[in-house]
């Protein structure tokens, strides 16, 4: 199991030093999200300032961009990193795609499969000079002249990871992707009972099994040396659970955990603007199902035990604070590896 880290920065100028630090601390991979920043630009800087760590997007919103635009960006990052790039894509939800990105959103599972197939057609044309002739249900790629063709790359194929929560999206990922980005709102039981079987069903359509895919997730943790630190951590995780679970797309996780009623109440409060009241609805047993709860010294082993046989890569949802001693994180990474 690999231990990765998420990039957390205020402006791009911070990325080179952060990437160098994360690699020096021993993390296996560095991931960039599409939240308040573009997901690709930070990784171009990280590629120039690292030599070992895997680099990936967790995640880039696929439907906000054309397959050709993403194929070009991914190809450049794969070359810049010497083959260390992972392209993580997600569909986002209808409201954000239509109202924030002003792009179409319909039949997301079918659309994302078509998107990935179109991506691969673009890369195949770059790499092998195949005639652009992809015409799918949602996307097409039928034109490429030499002026716009970067030609073959020596960096190797680009692994595609898809994100999902519900069975339909998991099956789609299993069918067309190389890896899967699990949502941080999950339980180990949901991964075992819902996510992995659905991925396996999709993977079998391409002659693979779920174990042939690379499964990655950010994970919530509740830890701390003092009771006050543990309470602060628990409060933050409760806020995150409440935020995510208020979206109907993620309700299935709480229903599987026996808390579907809480999910519906969270949605009601979100619609009425009752955000401050929502974390109090998350009971201790749900917190323990969603988060890995352990004291700092036991946390590396607890993470490995919790996700053994379920995930291949994990990263903590919390970021590595700039003022935290490097020795603490080197010890954490070392303990995680020794717990294998």
Phi, psi of 28 (to 5 degrees): -80, -30
Q: What is the C-alpha separation between 86 and 91, in angstroms, rounded?
A: 17
User: How far, in Å, are 90, 170, 174, 198, 217 from residue 210 at the CA level?
Assistant: 19, 10, 7, 9, 15
Domains of the chain listed by start with CATH number: 2-220+294-338 (3.20.20.30), 221-290 (no CATH)
Average pLDDT over residues 300-309: 97
| 299 close to 292: Cβ distance less than 8 angstroms | yes
Average pLDDT over residues 58-80: 98
| 132 close to 143: Cβ distance less than 8 angstroms | yes
Q: Is the pLDDT of residue 318 over 90?
A: no
Average pLDDT over residues 112-136: 98
Poorest-pLDDT segment among 79-83, 161-165, 248-252: 248-252
Predicted confidence at residue 319, as pLDDT, reads 85
How do beta strands 2-6 and 54-57 pair? unpaired
Q: What is the pLDDT of residues 203-228, one digit of tens each?
A: 999 999 999 999 999 999 999 999 99
Which stretch of DSSP H or E encloses residue 95? helix 94-95
Q: What is the pLDDT of residues 41-68, one digit of tens each?
A: 999 999 999 999 999 999 999 999 999 9
Predicted confidence at residue 90, as pLDDT, reads 97
Q: What is the C-alpha separation between 191 and 260, in angstroms, rounded?
A: 17
Q: What is the C-alpha separation between 113 and 118, in angstroms, rounded?
A: 9
Spacing of C-alpha 59 from chain mean position: 5
Please name the residue that has the structure tokens 């919790």.
306
Q: What is the pTM of this model?
A: 0.96
Structure tokens at 137: 């249900």
């Amino acid at each position: 199991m690999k231990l990765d880290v998420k990039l957390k920065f205020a402006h791009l100028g911070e990325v080179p030093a952060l990437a160098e630090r994360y690699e020096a601390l021993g993390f296996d991979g560095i991931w960039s999200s599409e939240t308040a920043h573009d997901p690709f630009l930070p990784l171009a800087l990280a590629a120039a300032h690292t030599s070992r760590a895997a680099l990936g997007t967790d995640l880039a919103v696929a439907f906000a961009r054309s397959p050709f635009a993403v194929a070009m960006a991914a190809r450049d990052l794969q070359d810049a990193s010497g083959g260390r790039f992972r392209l993580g894509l997600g569909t986002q939800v209808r409201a954000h795609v239509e109202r924030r990105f002003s792009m179409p959103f319909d039949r997301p599972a079918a659309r994302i499969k078509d998107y990935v197939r179109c991506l691969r057609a673009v890369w195949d044309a770059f790499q092998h000079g195949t005639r652009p002739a992809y015409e799918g249900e949602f996307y097409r790629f039928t034109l490429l002249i030499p002026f716009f063709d970067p030609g073959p790359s020596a960096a190797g194929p680009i692994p595609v990871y898809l994100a999902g929560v519900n069975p339909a999206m998991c099956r789609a990922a299993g069918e067309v992707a190389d890896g899967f980005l699990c949502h941080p709102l999950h339980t180990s039981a949901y991964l075992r009972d819902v996510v992995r079987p659905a991925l396996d069903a999709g993977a079998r359509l391409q002659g693979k099994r779920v174990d042939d895919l690379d499964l990655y997730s950010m994970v919530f943790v509740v830890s701390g040396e003092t009771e006050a630190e543990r309470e602060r951590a628990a409060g933050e995780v409760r806020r995150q659970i409440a935020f995510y679970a208020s979206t109907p797309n993620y309700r299935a996780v709480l229903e599987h955990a026996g808390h579907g009623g809480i999910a519906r109440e969270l949605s009601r409060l979100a619609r009425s603007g009752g955000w401050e009241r929502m974390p109090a609805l998350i009971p201790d047993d749900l917190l323990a199902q969603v988060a890995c709860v352990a004291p700092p010294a036991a946390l590396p082993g607890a993470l490995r035990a919790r996700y053994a046989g379920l995930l291949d890569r994990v990263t903590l949802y919390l970021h590595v604070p700039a003022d935290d001693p490097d020795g603490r994180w080197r010890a954490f990474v070392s303990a995680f590896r020794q717990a294998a």
